[in-house]
Structure 1
Amino acid sequence: MFVSLDGVRLAYPSDYGEVLALDGLTMGIEEGEFAAVVGPSGCGKSSLMRLATGLHLPQSGAIRVADKPVTGPLSITGMAFQNPSLLPWRTTLANVMLPLEIVRPHRRRLKHERTAYTQKAEDLLSLVGLEGFGARFPWQLSGGMQQRANLCRALIHDPVLLMLDEPFGALDAFTREELWAVMQDLHAQKRFTVILVTHDLREAIYLADKIFVMSARPGRIISEHRVPFPRPRPMDITYEREFVDLVQELRGEIADARKEVA
C-alpha cells in the first residue's frame, strides 16, 4: 500500500479531559489511487488528513506513506482546503509558486531555475482554465477561479500525495461540478495519489476509485466501497440509477453511524 494506517489512535487534550478523535482506524490506499473519505460531522476526517501528512502523530498505531514510516511533516504532499487562502498581496502566479520557496529541493533551485518554474506554473494555470490570469490578484478572481489557483499551488512541487479537505464545499453547484471535471482531468494526467475528505457523496463517487466510510467519533473505518464506474466519467453519470443507488447506500451507512451515538 502506498498509504497505510494500521490501528491508529489519536486523542487531543482539552479542558474537560482527553478527546478521542480516532481509535483503531485502519485503511490502505494504492499508489495512484483516488480515495474519498466520508462520514458524520466530527468523526475525525480532518484528523485523519493531518496524520497522513505527518502534521500530527498518533498515540498508537502505525502510519506509512511511500513505504516509509511517518514520523513528521511530509514534503511529498500537496494540500488544498475549502478556503483557498491565497495571499492577497501576491499575484495568482506568485501564489501558485509559493511552495517552491518552502519545499526542498525546489527552494534551492528556484533562484537559478526561476524561468523554468514560472513556465511550469503558467502551464498548470492553463491546464485548469486560468491561462492569462497569472498577473491578477486574488481579489480579482471569482471563488471558483481562486480554488483553481489553489489546486495549482498544491501541485506545483509535484507531490506524489494530494490531500483535499472539502476543497469545493464553499462553491455553488455549477462551479463545483466544473471543478470536479478539472480534478478528474488533473488526476488522469498526473496520476498522483489522492485522499479527498468530503461531505458531498456525489462528489466522492464521481471522483474516487475507492470510498471509505467512517463511524461517529471516535472515528474508524466501518466500510469500504470500490466505485464501479469507468473513467473518464461524464457529469451525466451522476443521474444514472446505479450512481444514485450508491449515493443512497452511503447515506444510509452514515445515518446509521450517527445513530450509534444518538
Structure 2
Amino acid sequence: MKNLVTIDNVDMRYGGADGTLAVEGLTLHVEKGEFAAVVGPSGCGKSTLMKLVTGLHIPQKGVVTVAEERVTKPVSIVGMAFQNPTMLPWRTTLDNILLPLEVVEKHRGRLRMNRAEYVAKAEKLLETVGLKGFGSKFPWQLSGGMQQRANLCRALIHEPDLLMLDEPFGALDSFTREELWCVIRDLHFERKVTIVLVTHDLREAVFLADRIFVMSSRPGRIIEERTVPFARPRDLEIMYQKEFNDIVHELRGSIADARKAA
C-alpha cells in the first residue's frame, strides 16, 4: 500500500540556530487508509510532528512528503481537530462547520455556487456524529462533547484525504471520550480516511490505531513502532481483555524509559 505521509530524517528547531531542538532525525511513514497514533512523554515533539505534516512548520533538515508531494507550504488535503474546538461563538454550529470551505480557495467558489449541496453534506456529517438537528444551535448551547463532535464535522467537511487529530478528546470526561472513540472509529471505517492521532491516552491509541509510534523525550524521534493486532471493528469491551492491557502497560513502560533517558 502507498504511503500517504512520509517523514524522512527531519530536524526541527525553534528560535533560530541556538534555539530549542524539538525533533531530531524524526522518521516515520503512514500508509494511505491507515490509522496511526503517536504517543510519548510531554514535550517530546508530538505537536511539532503534526505541524510538520500539515505544513505549518517547514523543517531545517530532512523531508516531509504528503500525497507524494514535498511539503513546503500548508497542505490543503488535510483536516485538523484539536483539543480545544475553537468554534466561533457568533456563528451557528452549521456555519462553523462550513468555515473551512470559506477559507480553502478551491472550495470558496463552489460554496457560493452550491451552498445547498454543502449544507446538506454538513447536515449529513452532523447526523453521523449524533448531532442531527443541532446545526442551528450556537456553540454556547452545546456541551463540550457536542462541540468536539461538531469540530470533527468541520475537519471532514472538505473531504480531506488526511485527518490530523491533536489530543481531540483530552478535555472530555471518560464516558464522552469513549463515545467519541466509537464515532471516530466508525468515521475511519466508512470514509477510509487516513488518520494520524496524537494522544497521551494509551488506551485511546490501542483502541483506535493500526500502528502506534512511540517518541523519545526532546529532541523527539521514533524509538518504537507497535502494530496493534486486534481485528476491526473493535468494541469498547476489548479494553477489559488481558491482551489489550498488556499492550497498554508495555507502551507505558516504553514512555517511562524514555523519560528516564532524558
d(CA) in 2 for partners of 1:193, 1:104:
22
Residue aligned with 1:111, SS: helix
Q: Is 2:168 the partner of 1:167?
A: yes
Partner Cα separation in structure 1 for residue 44 and residue 157 of structure 2: 31
Q: TM-score, normalization: structure 2?
A: 0.98
Deviation digits for residues 153-210 of structure 1, max 9, x if unmatched?
Answer: 0000011010000000000000000000000000001111111000000000001000
Q: Which amino acid aligns with 2:5?
A: V
Post-superposition offset of 1:103: 1.1
Whole-angstrom distance in 1 between the partners of 2:130 and 2:27: 38
Structure-to-structure mapping, 1:17-36, within 5 angstroms = 17-36=18-37
> How many residue pairs were aligned?
260
**Aligned 1:205-220 pairs, distance under 5 A:** 205-220=206-221
Distance 1:190 1:166 in 2: 21
CA shift digits 1:120-169 (9 cap, x unpaired)? 00000000000000000000001100000000000000110100000000
- Structure 2 counterparts to residues 147-226 of structure 1, below 5 A: 147-226=148-227
Please report how far the alpha carbon of residue 17 of structure 1 lies from its aligned counterpart in structure 2 after TM superposition. Answer: 3.6
Q: What amino acid does structure 1 have at the position aligned with 2:189?
A: A
Answer whether contact 1:80 1:151 (CA < 8 A) is retained: yes
- Percent sequence identity is 66
C-alpha distance in structure 1 between counterparts of 2:97 and 2:18, whole Å: 41
Tell me by how many angstroms 1:2 deviates. Answer: 1.2
Task: Give distance in 2, aligned partners of 1:184 and 1:194.
Answer: 10
2:13 is matched with which residue? 11
1:87 maps to 2:53: no
Letter in 2 for 1:4: T
Three-state SS of the structure 2 residue aligned to 1:98 is: helix
Shift of 1:108: 1.2
Q: For 2:186 and 2:90, how far apart are their aligned partners in 1?
A: 30
What's the RMSD between the two structures over aligned residues? 1.0
> C-alpha distance in 1, partners of 2:217/2:4?
26
AA in 2 matched with 1:85: T
AA of the residue aligned to 1:117: Y
Aligned-residue offset at 1:223: 0.5
4+ runs of 1 displaced by more than 6 Å?
none
Cα displacement (A) at 1:105:
1.7
Under a length normalisation based on structure 1, what TM-score does the superposition of the two structures give? 0.98
Q: What amino acid maps onto 1:2 in structure 2?
A: L
Amino acid at match of 1:5: I
User: For residue 58 of structure 2, what is the aligned residue in structure 1?
Assistant: 57
1:75–1:104 contact (8 Å) kept in structure 2:
no
> Is 99-108 or 110-119 further displaced after alignment?
99-108
Query: Can you list the C-alpha shifts for 1:67-115, whole angstroms capped at 9, x where unaligned?
Result: 1111110110000000000000000000001011111321111111000
> Aligned-pair distance for 1:235?
0.2
Could you tell which deviates more after superposition, 98-107 or 241-250? Answer: 98-107
Q: Which runs of 5+ in 2 are unaligned?
A: none
- Counterpart CA distance in 2 for 1:177 and 1:221 is 27
The amino acid across from 1:88 in the alignment is: P
Letter aligned with residue 154 of structure 1 = A
- For the residue of structure 1 that corresponds to 2:113, the secondary structure is coil
In structure 2, C-alpha distance between the alignment counterparts of 1:256 and 1:207, rounded to whole Å: 24
AA in 2 matched with 1:118: V
